[in-house]
Copies of this chain bind each other. A is one copy, B any other.
């Protein structure tokens, strides 16, 4: 930095001002400094900046160690958005979203003096751990508890589930069975709620809730049971992998999709269009969620208090053969 200052014939402070886009720098000086920076290939030392400002150009993400489509996509999209805004992203995965693991990861991030934190908090246990986070650190939750009052971005799970259930009822089914994800996930809870509400509003009978983890394996096991029940003609599953397992179970038992049973998934993984048959599902705009989360975070950093602090992204029903409009 001193070298740059010398070459441009100014003080190091002026260089710092140019770097930080301070208003009070003459245009001509600014240009001279920029030229010197370019000529010397100078790049500011972020550690030094972090030391004095107490804040780095780093955003910490707390996420469950997971290769599930949703969380993985979210992370990737967020990283991209952050990079475009000039921030690096430090990932801290935890095996479980319990309080002590989260606390450990948050501590690691605080050590790094992250400028903000994004918590992908798909279960209630994650919300409890927010006590660990200092008040003055910008935080955004993705997928957390809307009731927490903290800044939060989610996909509207209830609306997605309603659209899926509605679609099946409209197609002529008397009722719709639901295979949910783990019940401690907010996503699952929202989807269950949307499903139940829609059935109740339509005056349809609400079948018993079947819950599973998110895997194709459990979808298959649940599917084996459902396949033996002739009264089951419409199934809404909480994600596409569950649907895959169910499709296979139905296939093995000779129940044709969609002729005998219609199936709707959730997520729209890239492969969903190539399931047998192609899967009707609910697409979540993870990219939009990631960008919204980033903008909330940047808003907090700027202390932009007029900003909305909860953003809900609408999902979209994608109709394919596994559940056509009319049976």
A residues touching B (Cβ–Cβ < 8 Å)? 43-48, 50-51, 56-58, 65-67, 69, 72-73, 75-76, 79-80, 83, 88-93, 95, 105, 107-113, 215-217, 219-220, 241, 244-245, 247-248, 251, 270-271, 273-276, 278
Q: Find out whether the CB atom of B72 lies under 8 angstroms from the CB atom of A67.
A: yes
The 3 closest A-B pairs by CB, nearest first: A47-B50, A216-B274, A216-B271
Complex Cα spacing A111 to B248, Å = 50
- Minimal Cβ-Cβ distance residue in B for A59: B90
CB pairs A–B below 8 angstroms (13 shown): A43-B111, A47-B56, A51-B51, A57-B112, A65-B80, A67-B72, A67-B76, A75-B91, A79-B93, A90-B90, A215-B270, A245-B274, A247-B276
Are B88 and A93 interface neighbours, CB within 8 A? Answer: no
Contacts of A105 in B (CB 8 A): 83
| A47-B56, A72-B67, A79-B65 given; A244·B216 CB < 8 A | no
- How far apart sit A109 and B46, CA to CA, in the bound complex (Å)? 10
The answer to whether B72 touches A65, judged by C-beta atoms less than 8 angstroms apart, is: no
Are A220 and B274 neighbours in the complex by a CB distance under 8 Å? yes
Residue of B nearest to A87 (CB): B108
> Once the chains are docked, how many angstroms separate the CA of A45 from the CA of B45?
16
A67-B69, A248-B278 known, 11 other contacts, Cβ within 8 Å: A45-B51, A45-B113, A47-B50, A47-B51, A47-B56, A51-B51, A65-B80, A80-B93, A88-B109, A89-B90, A244-B274
* Residues of chain B lying within 8 A (CB to CB) of residue A51: 45, 47-48, 51
In contact, B80 and A271 (Cβ under 8 angstroms):
no
Judge whether A107 and B43 touch: CB under 8 Å: yes
**Are A44 and B111 interface neighbours, CB within 8 A?**
yes
Q: Tell me how far the C-beta of A201 lies from the nearest C-beta in chain B, rounded to whole angstroms.
A: 33
List of B residues within 8 angstroms of A241 by Cβ:
270-271, 274
